[in-house]
């Protein structure tokens, strides 16, 4: 049985936050001291490293479950299915629903339950649950969906990645410019074709690496010290990703039995342009094969890092011809890959 993506959809918020919008921010070091650079210099260096020019933020009245619902609706329509026939709804996120201007995360009921409710699905045997796996959450959800279908536990699954990272950033931290909001969704089904998921690889590095991404205090020492924000050790994450992600991608591709020269596209988590490029270059070096041009579609320049939403969103954009000089044709071999909090890594080899 082939297990494949039969429907795609994404929701990209309309509110654009450009780099120059951060010119009046007060950025501080982790100890609360002032940074000895003008904001224009900080932003220039930030863009040179990450590639980010602008990012999208959800409108004030919307939450992660709302964005996930919008993306899910599009995927269901794209797949041309009756939502009542969905067996599992798997929603990957990290912080639940966070209202604009609030610090508290709302996770009861689960985001999956909320999205199922918004879809008005009556079937009680459509099981809805949340998945917390850091930025690789959507890919892990796809891996779980194929396991359900392969085992006979399900025929059709809806996998969603949704996040509003703009609600959990520390405005005094330069890293706050990385994060954005968005959602992507896919319908996963089984059929008798020769396309679909060929192999996968997942790993969790927690012995020394578990807290490379964490919830920490604001850089502003005068603020409330009980409030926590998303924080990261960027240098350690960068080195970790360059060491382990190419190896996971290679292990995944090798399991599929396919050759490196057959890979047409790599849909990788959009975390940092230089890091993503270095990961893919090292991946190809493991095969002593040159990295092709345009093999790695990039959305980070305009959409920023929307965590679990980045991979399904960019896949949706390419599939629907919304990215210049990027396309996927029937029969093409593609790789999905991600790294994030945990530290978790995963990859999927997929025949479109």
Q: How far apart are CA 200 and CA 140, in angstroms?
A: 9
CA 350 to chain centroid, in Å, comes to 17
Q: What is the CATH number of domain 198-351?
A: 3.40.47.10
CATH homologous superfamily of 2-193: Thiolase/Chalcone synthase (3.40.47.10)
Cα(first)–Cα(last) distance of the chain, in Å? 15
- Counting residues of the chain whose pLDDT is more than 70, the rounded percentage is 100
Predicted confidence (pLDDT) per residue in 35-90, tens digit = 888 889 999 999 999 999 999 999 999 999 999 999 999 999 999 999 999 999 99
Q: What is d(CA 271, CA 241) in angstroms, rounded to the nearest whole number?
A: 11
Report phi then psi at 95, rounded to 5. -130, 10
Q: Do residues 335 and 351 lie in contact, with contact meaning Cβ atoms separated by under 8 Å?
A: no
Equal fold, 2-193 vs 198-351: yes
Judge whether 306 and 163 are in contact, CB under 8 Å. Answer: yes
What is the distance between the alpha carbons of residues 65 and 67, in angstroms, rounded to a whole number? 5
Cα–Cα distance between 315 and 185 in angstroms, integer?
10
Q: How far is CA 337 from the centre of its chain?
A: 10
User: What digits encode the pLDDT tens for the residues 116-140?
Assistant: 999 999 999 999 999 999 999 999 9
All structural domains of the chain with their residue ranges: 2-193, 198-351
CB atoms within 10 A of CB 256: 19
Tell me, letter by letter, the H, E, C secondary structure of 203-243: EECCCCCCCCEEEECCCCCCCCCCCCEEEECHHHHHHHHHH
Phi, psi of 47 (to 5 degrees): -65, -40
The tens-digit pLDDT sequence of the chain (352 residues) is: 899 999 999 999 999 999 999 998 888 888 888 888 888 999 999 999 999 999 999 999 999 999 999 999 999 999 999 999 999 999 999 999 999 988 789 999 999 999 999 999 999 999 999 999 999 999 999 999 999 999 999 999 999 999 999 999 989 999 999 999 999 999 999 988 888 999 999 999 999 999 999 988 888 888 777 788 899 998 999 999 999 999 999 999 999 999 999 999 999 999 999 999 999 999 999 999 999 999 999 999 999 999 999 999 999 999 999 998 999 999 999 999 999 999 999 999 999 9
Helix runs in 53-170, H state only: 64-79, 111-118, 137-151
Provide the angle, in degrees to the nearest 10, between the axes of the packed helices 234-256 and 273-285. 40
List strand residue ranges (DSSP E) for the chain, in order: 2-11, 15-18, 54-57, 88-92, 97-98, 105-106, 127-131, 156-164, 181-191, 196-204, 213-216, 229-232, 263-268, 333-340, 344-351
Q: How far apart are CA 309 and CA 307, in angstroms?
A: 5
Q: What's the pTM?
A: 0.94
SS3 at position 68: helix
């Amino acid at each position: 049985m082939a297990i494949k993506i039969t429907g795609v959809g994404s929701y990209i918020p309309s509110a654009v936050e450009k780099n120059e919008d951060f010119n009046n921010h007060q950025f501080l070091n982790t100890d609360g001291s002032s940074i000895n650079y003008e904001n224009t210099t900080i932003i220039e260096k930030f863009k040179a490293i990450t590639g980010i020019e602008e990012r999208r933020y959800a409108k004030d009245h919307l939450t992660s479950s709302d964005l996930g619902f919008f993306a899910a609706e599009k995927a269901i329509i794209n797949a041309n299915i009756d939502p009542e026939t969905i067996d599992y709804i798997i929603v990957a996120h990290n912080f639940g629903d966070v209202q604009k201007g609030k610090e508290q995360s709302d996770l009861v009921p689960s985001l999956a339950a909320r999205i199922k409710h918004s879809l008005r699905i009556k079937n009680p045997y459509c099981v809805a649950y949340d998945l917390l796996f850091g930025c690789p959450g959507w890919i892990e959800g796809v891996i779980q969906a194929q396991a359900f279908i392969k085992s006979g536990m399900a025929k059709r699954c809806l996998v969603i990645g949704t996040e509003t990272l703009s609600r959990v950033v520390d405005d005094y931290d330069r890293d706050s410019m990385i994060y954005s909001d968005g959602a992507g969704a896919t319908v996963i089904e089984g059929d008798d074709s020769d396309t679909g998921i060929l192999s996968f690889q997942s790993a969790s590095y927690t012995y020394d690496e578990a807290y490379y991404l964490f919830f920490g205090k604001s850089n502003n020492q005068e603020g409330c010290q009980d409030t926590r924000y998303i924080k990261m050790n960027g240098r350690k994450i960068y080195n970790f990703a360059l060491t382990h992600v190419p190896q996971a991608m290679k292990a995944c591709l090798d399991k599929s039995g396919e050759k490196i020269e057959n890979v047409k596209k790599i849909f990788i988590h959009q975390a940092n342009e230089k890091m993503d490029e270095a990961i893919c270059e090292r991946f190809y070096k493991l095969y002593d094969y040159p990295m092709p041009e345009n093999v790695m579609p990039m959305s980070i320049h305009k959409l920023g890092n929307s965590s679990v939403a980045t991979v399904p969103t960019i896949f949706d954009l390419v599939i629907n011809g919304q990215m210049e000089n990027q396309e996927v044709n029937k029969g093409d071999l593609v790789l999905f890959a991600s790294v994030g909090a945990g530290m978790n890594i995963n990859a999927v080899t997929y025949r479109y």
